[in-house]
Each structure stands twice: as C-alpha cells, then as structure tokens.
Structure 1
Amino acid sequence: MLDPKLLRDSPDIVRAAIAKKHLDIDLDAVLAVDTAWRTRLIEVEHLRAQQKAANAEMAALPKGSPEFIAKVQEMKTVAARAKEGDAKLKELEEKWREALLSLPNLPHSSVPEGRTPEENVVYALHGAQDAAYPAARPHWEIPGFERLFDFARGAKVTGAGFPFFIGDGARLVRALLQFFLEEDTRAGYVEVAPPIFVNEASATATGQLPDKEGQMYETTDRLFAVPTAEVPLTNFFRDEILDEEALPVYRCAYTPCFRREAGSYGKDVRGLNRVHQFDKVELLKWVHPESSYVELDKLREDAERLIQKLELPYRVLLMCGGDLGFAQAKKYDLEVWAGGQKRWLEVSSCSNFETFQARRAQIRFRSKESGKPELVHTLNGSGLAVPRIVAALLENNLQPDGTVRIPAALVPYFGKETLRFA
C-alpha cells in the first residue's frame, strides 16, 4: 500500500508509476474517494466536538432548567447527525481502503522502461545455452517420462496440472528440496515450516488480494491455499514492532504452492513447465530501509548460487516496468536454459517491495535515532522452484543411454549419480 500522504501531496509521482507499469487505473477516481472520505471525517469530528462541548455545558446547568432542556434537545439533534455521519464515514472509509489497495507500488528509479517481457533487460548471463546437448529433447518426450511423472493419473485423481511424482521422480524432488534448504540455512536463513493456508488479511498484506484473487484456490470459509510461502512468511511479523538491532531477519521455507494459472495454454505450458501444484523453497527478508537494495543483490546471489551448483546455464533479467508486477519496486528473474526445448525457464524471482507490504501488514521497527516505529522493507525470492529445475536437469543431462546425470552437488541428497526411467 502506498503512503496516503504521498498520494495527496504528489499525485503526479503515483500517476507516473501507474504509467511505467502500464496499468489501467483511474487515479482521479481514487483521489476523489480520498477527498470525500477526508471531508466526511472533518464533518464527523466537528460534530463530535460539538457533542463534547454540549456535555460540558450541560454539566454546569441545573437539571430541569429551561437552558438544560434546550441543551438536551440540541444534543439529540447533534447526536442524530453524528450517528448518520459515522455510518456514512464507515462506508466511505471502506471505499477509501479499497481505492488505496488498487494502487501499485512505485517502481524503483533503476527499473527500465518497457511494456512486454521482450523488453526486460538481460542483466547477466552464466553458462552457454548454445552448448551441445546431443541427447537433449523436451522432457515430456523422453522415453519413460510418464513412469516417473504421471500427468494422466494426476488428472484423473484431481485435474490437469496435478501430476504424480513416482520413484526416482519423487526422489529427485525430495533431493532438490533438501539441497535447497541445506544451502539456504548455511547462507544464514532460518528454516520455517509455515501453514499452507492463509486468511484474507494475510493475502491482502502481501498484495495477492485483490490483485491476484482469480489465481488462488479458495476454501468455502475464505482461506486460501498458498501460491507461495512468501504469504505466510511475510505475515509472521504482521502488526508487530521489531527491534532495530534485530534487522535484517532472514527466513526460508518449503511449501507446496497452488496456482490456478488461468488462461495458460500452448507449448510453453507442456510437461513440468507450468503446473497447478508445485514445490518451492522461498527466501524472505525483513530489512532496514537503508540497506534494502544491498540486501536485494545478496538475495539474488543466494538464489544464483543454487543454480550454479546444479551446473545449469542461466540468465538474470532485470524486469521492465510493464512486466514488473503490481507489488514490486524492483525485481530480477532467474531463468535456466532447457536444452531440449531450447528456451529459458523462470525458476526464481527476487523482489524488493520496499514498504509496500510492510504498510499493509504494519510490520515496523523502532528506530534508535527517533524512538518511533518505522516501516521495514520486505524482500523475497525463490530459492528455488522445483518443476522447471527438474525439467532443465532432465533435458540438459539426458545421456545417450536414456539415463539422466545427477549434478555432483545433488548426488549426496539423491543418493546416486544417475536417474533412470525404467
């Protein structure tokens, strides 16, 4: 959520942010709601002041006197107006909050201009995506693929996009998760096992609501299956004030993640490229505002190190304004090269939200300098998402005999050097 003071004092800055993110938002309508709410608030506060003054005057008058009776009548009129004003104020306040929640975060000044993913900037490139992968093919075309990754039976049991992982397929997923968590905790992140359902307040605090409501699975009692561990992790400190000395706080968590991915069709969503349930380890930081962009670079490097140890070619994209996302101030995407498909697959997004989530969640620290609570900056990144990592490993490491070579760093967790489909 943006600072309301910024909206009122510098609407052109907000207007420029909306334009840079290429969002269709009527800022004038939001400003009108804000003006109406503040006008009504002043009116109600004036009526309350009148009530308070009348109470003081009545206390000094003899009960039953003409002046007392007149003041009682005046009080009734003021009270009725105040009651009516309170009801209208509450209605306007709800509209005001909804209007503020519709506004995106401001892009950082370093975010490049651009409308489409094609205009993202290649920030770094590691490894050769044009390397020879003589046995590579799209992972869903590998003979025996369906024995370890059974989409047909998953669709029968649940629906499309909910595969079974079997034998070495399940073992590979478990090995990757353990590898990620071990590496992340060595890097200083404290592991957390969070709930995988969150309430509406939690989803609103991180920006999933109202922006991504259609992408989430919802229960009948308004709980949401987590689209990412970011949501429960961020809300761990909701409505709390941290000690400044405690910052930065690093946490990591594994959860299954659930996303509807509505409107996803075509070759780019074949096999493991895009599923409705997947496993992911999330990295999250609560940091001092002065160090948040240094912490963003460290976060990205932590995610990159995992890819490097898995020996996968990858690139880092700096997202342009139009592909940045509603809540982020700045974001890097990490994409691995899949040699069979000959395309890049996103496996991590590393984002700085600055105070956007913290203001919604009221996560603050007490400043030693001022003694007052101030908003933290929140950052998160995938460390990493499993399915596309599996896809790239299967394709890039496929051997002529139909087995898949397991990277050396993963062998202690997988328990053997090759994966077999038979």
Structure 2
Amino acid sequence: MDGRLLNLRYKRRTAALATFLAISVLMFGGALLYNLVQLRQAWGEYSYETSQRADALTRIHRAAGYGGFIHNFKNYVLRQDPAYLKRLTIDTSEFHSALNTYRLLTVNTEEQAALNAIHKTFDAYLNAVQLAEAGVLEQLTPNVLDKRVLVSDTEAIEALAVLESAHERYNHEINQQMQAEFDFLINMLLIGLLAVPLIGFWAHRHMGLLERLAETMLARNEMQKMLARSEEEADEALRRSETYKHLAYRCALTQIPNRQAFNEAAEKALVSARDQREKLAVLYVDVDDFKGINDRFGHKTGDQVLTEIAGRLDRVLRGDDLVARIGGDEFAILIFGRDALKAKDQLATRIMDALRKPFDNIELGLKVSCSVGGAIAPDQGEDVDALLKAADTRMYVVKKSGKDGAMIG
C-alpha cells in the first residue's frame, strides 16, 4: 500500500480517537460540573434553613424562657414593680416575632403541634399578666397573687424539647444526604482522574475543566468543615435543651426545686405510697414577717434570707427527701419512705433548730423565724393540693399562736 495512504489513514484514526476522547471528557466534565453546582445550591438552601431554625429556637428560648418573659413575670408578681411590665411587653413582641419566623420554615405536623402548644402556654401567661395587674390594684400580698396567677409550664417545656429534637433530626438527615451526594461527586472525580493517561492529549487544550476539578477537591475540606460546624450546632442545641429543662424545674434565686418540680415529685411519691401501703408527710414552711424584712433591709437582703433558708433546709433533710420553694417566702418539704412518720418529728426539730440560728452573715442583728405546718397522707389528704392545704392550715395555727414553731399532723 502506498506510504502516503497509510499516513493519511493513521492521521484520520488519530483525529477520530482524539475527537472521541474530547467528547467523552467534555460529557464527563459537564456531568461533574452540573452535580457540583447542584450540591452547592442544596448546601446553600440547607445552611439558610438550619440557620433560621437555630436562630428562631434561640429567640423563643430567650424571649419566653427563664431570664425572659417568665422570669420578668415572676419578678413582677413577687416584687410588684411596674418596671417589669415594660419588660414583659418587649418579651411578648420578641416571642411572637420568633414564633412567626419558625412557622414560616418547613415544619412537619409534630413541630406545628409543638408551636401551637408553646403559643397556648404563652397566651395563658398573658392572661395571667392581666390577673396580676388586677391583683396589684387590689393590693394582694405576693404569696396570694402568686397562687392566683400560677400557670403550668409543662406542656410548653415538652414542646420546646420536641422542637429541639426535630432540629437535631433535621440536621442529621441533611448531613447524611449531603455526605452521600458529596461521596458520589468524589467517586466521579476519582474515575475521571484514573483516565488521565487517556485524556492527556485533550487536557493541554482544555485546562478550564481540570481547574474546576481541582477547585472541587479544595472545596471538599471546606464542605466537611461546614458539616462539622452544623453537627456542633445540633449538639449545642441539644445541650441547651437539657439546660432549659433543668431550669424549668429549679427556682432561679435559691437553686432548689420549684413548685412544678415539687408537685410532680409528690404525685409520684403518693402513687408509690398507695401501692406500698405506706404514708408520707408534707411540711409547709413560711417565713415570719418576711415583708417586714424586705421593707427594713431591702429586697437584696430578703433574697439572701430566702437563699440561706433554702440552703439550711436542704442540708438537714435526709437523702430521699425533697425541699422546694413554692411561693415568695414559702417552702414545702416532702418526706417519704418506710420511716416517714418517725422521721417527720425529728426532721421538724432539726428544721426549727437550723432556722433559729443567727443570720448575722447576712445582716448583723437580723432575726428571722419560720412557722411550720405538716400533714400526713392519706390521713389529711390523698392528693398534693389537699396535703398542702392541710399543712398550710396548721402553719397558720402556729402563726396565730405566736409564730416561730411547728405543728405537725
């Protein structure tokens, strides 16, 4: 065969192969670039969504949680200072703004129900604010007013936990989806790199695609960092949820359990006592003339007195017993177990001894006394309210008899 013909055929085959390789590489590069653009777009949407969720949850916690609306509401009830009403107005506006922001996000039925539960509890608090204002005009004492406007937080606390769990679950699912898509993209890239010896002819003429592939490799570390930050945010949201659960059952001032925690613990103890055919005791402790302490020494000293009393009560209790602050200057003690009846009288003596010790560490010459009433279940009551009422009645008998004493049922 003529040499010129062979040379022409060789050139044609080379051109055909080069064309085939060029078209193949262009198709591969186009598919890779398309997937990269889609992944970046999906990541941007996810980043915006999770940022809005985290921000809305934080604002709801801050506006309605302890330190926000509820904290200022409690202070208004106990201190009856009009300044707290202005703070409540600001907290209300911030709460509604945060709640509306969350509603605009993509939420499921469970989250929608949780938002409705939080809104319902907040509305109950708004009604309580009106009752509190009326009570202040009637010149009700803080203790009486506190009982009148009592609102249960349980449903809202559980709803907040649902939102935190949904946020964490959303982050986890999206992270898995992003990781799967990114792994697919990297696998495509590796397949392309294995074909480098075959596309060398094409590469030096079309560097743009390879530059984009290199950018993809560099972007991998950045995306992994973003995924790690997202997981850290989810972990922080979970820790914050646990913290708010803890705060919801603690008195912010004295750091001992509050009325909600006492009621739930007492209900469980009553069920256990009925099943075991045992008895339990409830003690009601009220600080004598606490208003006089506030008027003479100031609210700061009054707060220190309440904190000191809470600490003394907690230290004299047995390991299984519980002390809680259930009102402005009122504490309740739950005594249960097999020897509850034997322990109640000894415990009452230890309580009175502890409370009669000087309070000179707070204010030199400060004298503080308490009146204690007690009730036995099921003799004086079969539920928490009945027991507290019976113990409260005995406590007032002590007050009328000269205060600074105890009367246990």
TM-score, structure 2 length as denominator? 0.30
Greater helix proportion: 2
Whichever of the two has the greater Rg, that structure is: 2
TM-score, structure 1 length as denominator? 0.29
Greater strand proportion: 1
Relative contact order, higher structure (CA 8 A, sep 6+): 1
